[in-house]
Structure 1
Amino acid sequence: MTFDLITQDPASKARAGLIQTDHGAIETPIFMPVGTAGTVKAVSQQTLKTDVQAQIILGNTYHLYLRPGLDVLRQAGGLHRFNGWDRPILTDSGGYQVYSLSGTRKIKEEGVKFRSHIDGSQHLFSPEGVMDIQRVIGADIIMAFDECTPWPCEYQYARRSLDMTHRWLQRCIQRFDSTEGLYGYSQTLFPIVQGSTFKDLRVQSAEFIAAQGREGNAIGGLSVGEPAELMYEMTELVCDILPADKPRYLMGVGTPANILENIALGVDMFDCVMPTRNARNGMLFTTQGIMNITNKKWELDFEPIDAALEGPASTFYSRSYVRHLFQSKEMLGPQLASAHNLAFYLWLVKEARKEILGGTFGPWKEKMVKQVMTRL
C-alpha cells in the first residue's frame, strides 16, 4: 500500500491524498461503509459501486471468524471472492466487539477469552491469532489487536490498558511480518493509538505508534460516549504527532459534522454504522439537513429525497413514497434509505476533497457543518 499526500488546505490541517492498494485506489478523505458480516446491511455490492460510489468497505474480524468461519473464507479465496467486492477492504481486529462484550469476556496478557454471542461457545483472541484470522479474511488493510477502553475510565486503568495494547501491537507486528498473504496480493497492518481522553497517554501512544513505521495509522477509543469537544482535542493532539506522509484513520466516527471537523484536524479515513443504522429507523441525512422520513409532514411531499445527489435512491423516489414504505413496513424503505445515506456520506467527503484541492475548505466547512446538521 502506498499513500501520496497531494495537498493540504491553507486554512486548516485538512488533506487530500491518494491511497493505492492491490484492489484499487482510494481518494482521501474517504468514508468507508461498514459491512460487519461481509455485507453492508440492506445494500448490495452493485448498489455500493454504482449508486453509493464506495471506494472501500469494512469487514469485521470477530463476526466473520464466528460466521461464516475461517474454513469457508479460506476455501472461497478470501472475503473479496466470497462477497464479490473487488475493491479495497479493511477489517477491524475485533477489539471493539471485545470491548462491547464486557459481560462475557476476560482480558489477560495472553489475549481475550470471550463467549460467542451466537451459541455461547468459548474462544480466545490473541494478537497472533487475530493476525492469522485477518490473513484468512484477506483484507487489504488490517488492524492491530487492541483494547478499546470505555469512557469514562480511571487513569490507572487507561495506562495499564495502553501498555498492554502496545505490547500486543509488537506481537501483532512480529506475527504479521513473519507471515504472508494467502491470495496473491499484499496486505497492510495499521497500528491503533489508544489512551482514552488523557493527554499524556495519547501523546505517549501516538509517539509509540509513529515509531513503528507502518504504512498507515489509526486512532481508536474515541466516539465511545465522550463529548465531541474532547474527541476533537484528542484527535488534533494525535494528528500533530502521527507522520504526515501516512494516512490517518479515525475509527467509528461519526456524524456528518464530526467527519467535517475531524477532516479539518488532519484525518483521512472514517467509518461508522450511523448512516445505515439511522436509515433503518427513518433518519435521512441530506445536503440540506436531517429529515425523519416517517413524519407526517412528508406524506404529500413528492419531491425526491435529495436532488443534489446522483443515485436513484436519492433522486428517483419521492419523499412521500419512501415514507409510505416505512409506514407499510416494506423492506424497500430501509434499503433505499440506507443507500441514500451512504451516498450522502460519500458525497460529503468527495465535496470536502474538492474544497481542499481548491484551497477553500475552511469557509465551506463552517457553512456545511451547520447546513447538514439542520433538522428539517
Structure 2
Amino acid sequence: MSEKTTEQAATTKPFSFKLLKTEGMARRGEITTPHGKVRTPAFMPVGTQATVKAMYPQQVRDLGADVVLGNTYHLMLRPTAERIAKLGGLHKFMGWDHTILTDSGGFQVMSLSGLRKMTEEGVTFSSHHDGSKHFMSPERSVEIQGLLGSDIQMQLDECIALPAERSEVERAMQLSLRWAERSRNQFESMGGPQKGQGLYGIVQGGDVPDLRIESAQRLGELPMEGYSVGGLAVGEPQAVMLKMLEITTPAMPNDKPRYLMGVGTPEDILESVARGIDQFDCVMPTRAGRHGLAYTRFGKVNLKNARHSEDPRPLDEESQCEAASKYSRAYLHHLVRVNEGLGAMLLTWNNLAYYQYLMQGIRDAIDEGRFEEFRQQTKEDWARGDLEPYVWS
C-alpha cells in the first residue's frame, strides 16, 4: 500500500449512526459516511440510472437531500459497474459529492427480468433490455456495489409479492438470511468497513408477524451497519404495512439506522416515522411529476384536470421552491396537456421540494418534542385539501 493510500485509509471516518432524540417511537438521528452526514428521518430521491429523472444534481442537493439512491441492476447492465469504476466511481460519474445508497438489484431481478432461475447460489436471469444472460449472487451484488463505490450498500434478498402462502414467505425469508451472511462476508473481504462504507441487512417475512420478528432478531446478530425492512408496499394494504412495522421495529437494533425500502406516499412516510423508521426511498414523487401530479401542503393536485386551465394561482405561494410559487396552475396544466418536458421538470422539482419540506418538518418536530402535534396537523391539512376551484372576481 502506498503512503498516500495508507494515509487515506487512516483518515477515512468509519460509518456511524447517532441517535439524537426520540418521541415515542419516532427517532431523530444522524448517519455519517465518507461523503458527509445524513440527517434522519431522511427521504432519498431515487436516481435509478445514475440520475434523478428531470433534475440537476445541484437542484436535488439544494432542496435538502443528503443522499440519493442508485440501482445495482440497471447500472450493472448499462453502462456496467466495471466501466463506472474505471471512470472514477458513481459519485464522480453522476456529479454527486454526497452520500449514495445502492440497492442490491434483487427486486429488479425478480420484477423486471425475463426468464430467471433461482437457486441457493443465486439468480440467473435475462436482461429486460436485450435478453442477455446474467448471474446475480450475494457476492456479485456486493462486488458490483463496491465497484460503484456507494456509501451504503444492501444485501441481496428475495422479495416476494403479497399475499403469499406462509410456506413461501418463510422459504424466502430463510434464504434472505443465508444470503445476508454471505453478503456480509463479501463486504468485509472487500474492505467495506475500512472504507467507511455500510452494509444493510434486509428484514423479510411478508405479512406474517412471527417470521418478521425472527428475521429481525437473526439479522441483528450479524454486524451490519444498518437494517432495512423489505417486502412491504408490494401490494398489501397500508394498514398491513403499518402493523408489520409496529411488530418489526422493536425487534431491530436500536442503535442502528432503520430503512423502509420503496416507501412511499407522504402519509406512508409520516406514519412510518411514528413507528420507528429513519430512511425512505420511492420513485413516487418523480414519477408523479412526470405524469402531471403535484404533491403539496394541501394534498395532491392533478394538473391534468381541466379545472386548472384558467387558474392563475401557483401551487403554493408560500413555498421556497420556485416551481411551486412562481408558475401558475394554468401554465402547469398547459405544459402537462401539450406534453412539454418543462412540465415534468417543474412538477418533479415541486414534488421533491415538498418531500424534503416534509422531512425537515418531521426532524424539527422531533427535535422540539412536538412530533405528534405535527403529525396530526399535517394529516388535517391534507384532509382539508385545496379542492376549491378558482373563481374569477
What band does the TM-score fall into relative to the shorter chain?
over 0.9
**RMSD, matched Cα:** 1.5
Does structure 1 residue 62 correspond to structure 2 residue 89? no
Report the counterpart of residue 42 of structure 1 in structure 2. 54
Does structure 1 residue 197 correspond to structure 2 residue 207? yes
Q: What letter matches 2:71 in structure 1?
A: N
- Candidates 14, 18, 24, aligned match of 1:4: 18
Q: What letter matches 2:289 in structure 1?
A: A
Does structure 1 residue 138 correspond to structure 2 residue 152? no
Contact 1:284-1:290 within 8 A present in 2 as well: yes
Does structure 1 residue 344 correspond to structure 2 residue 344? no
- Candidates 243, 250, 253, aligned match of 1:233: 243
Q: What letter matches 1:81 in structure 2?
A: K
Report the counterpart of residue 6 of structure 2 in structure 1. none
Mapping 1:206-245, distance limit 5 Å: 206-245=216-255
- Candidates 84, 89, 104, aligned match of 2:115: 104
Partners of 2:129 and 2:191 lie apart in 1 by 31
Q: Whose RCO is larger (CA < 8 A, sep 6+)?
A: 1
Deviations 1:49-105 (A, max 9, x none): 22x221110000000000011232011111000000001000000111122137521
Deviation of 1:308 after TM superposition, in Å, equals: 3.1
Partners of 1:164 and 1:181 lie apart in 2 by 23
Q: What letter matches 2:37 in structure 1?
A: A
TM-score by length of 2: 0.92
Does structure 1 residue 155 correspond to structure 2 residue 166? yes
Contact 1:256-1:369 within 8 A present in 2 as well: no
Mapping 1:269-308, distance limit 5 Å: 269-308=279-318
Deviations 1:302-335 (A, max 9, x none): 2222223212212222211111111221100001
Gaps (5+ residues) in structure 2? Answer: 1-14, 388-393
Deviation of 1:21 after TM superposition, in Å, equals: 1.0
Of the structure 1 ranges 354-363 and 81-90, higher mean CA displacement relative to structure 2 is found in 354-363
Report the counterpart of residue 340 of structure 2 in structure 1. 330
SS in 2 for 1:240: helix
Does structure 1 residue 86 correspond to structure 2 residue 97? yes
User: How many matched pairs?
Assistant: 372
Does structure 1 residue 125 correspond to structure 2 residue 136? yes
Q: What letter matches 2:333 in structure 1?
A: R
Partners of 2:27 and 2:281 lie apart in 1 by 17
Partners of 2:192 and 2:95 lie apart in 1 by 19
Q: What letter matches 2:27 in structure 1?
A: R
Partners of 2:154 and 2:118 lie apart in 1 by 18
Deviations 1:27-56 (A, max 9, x none): 111100001111111111121122x22111
TM-score by length of 1: 0.96
Contact 2:290-2:344 within 8 A present in 1 as well: yes
Contact 2:18-2:30 within 8 A present in 1 as well: yes
Q: What letter matches 2:296 in structure 1?
A: T
Report the counterpart of residue 311 of structure 1 in structure 2. 321
Of the structure 1 ranges 70-79 and 84-93, higher mean CA displacement relative to structure 2 is found in 70-79
- Candidates 37, 42, 45, aligned match of 1:25: 37
Partners of 1:114 and 1:308 lie apart in 2 by 49
Partners of 2:134 and 2:241 lie apart in 1 by 32
Of the structure 1 ranges 246-255 and 184-193, higher mean CA displacement relative to structure 2 is found in 184-193
Partners of 1:104 and 1:36 lie apart in 2 by 22
Partners of 2:345 and 2:135 lie apart in 1 by 35
SS in 2 for 1:211: coil
Contact 1:287-1:308 within 8 A present in 2 as well: no
Partners of 1:121 and 1:144 lie apart in 2 by 24
- Candidates 74, 88, 96, aligned match of 2:85: 74
Percent identity, aligned pairs only, is 45
Partners of 1:41 and 1:318 lie apart in 2 by 23
Partners of 1:169 and 1:99 lie apart in 2 by 17
Partners of 1:309 and 1:140 lie apart in 2 by 32
Of the structure 1 ranges 92-101 and 257-266, higher mean CA displacement relative to structure 2 is found in 92-101
Deviation of 1:186 after TM superposition, in Å, equals: 2.5
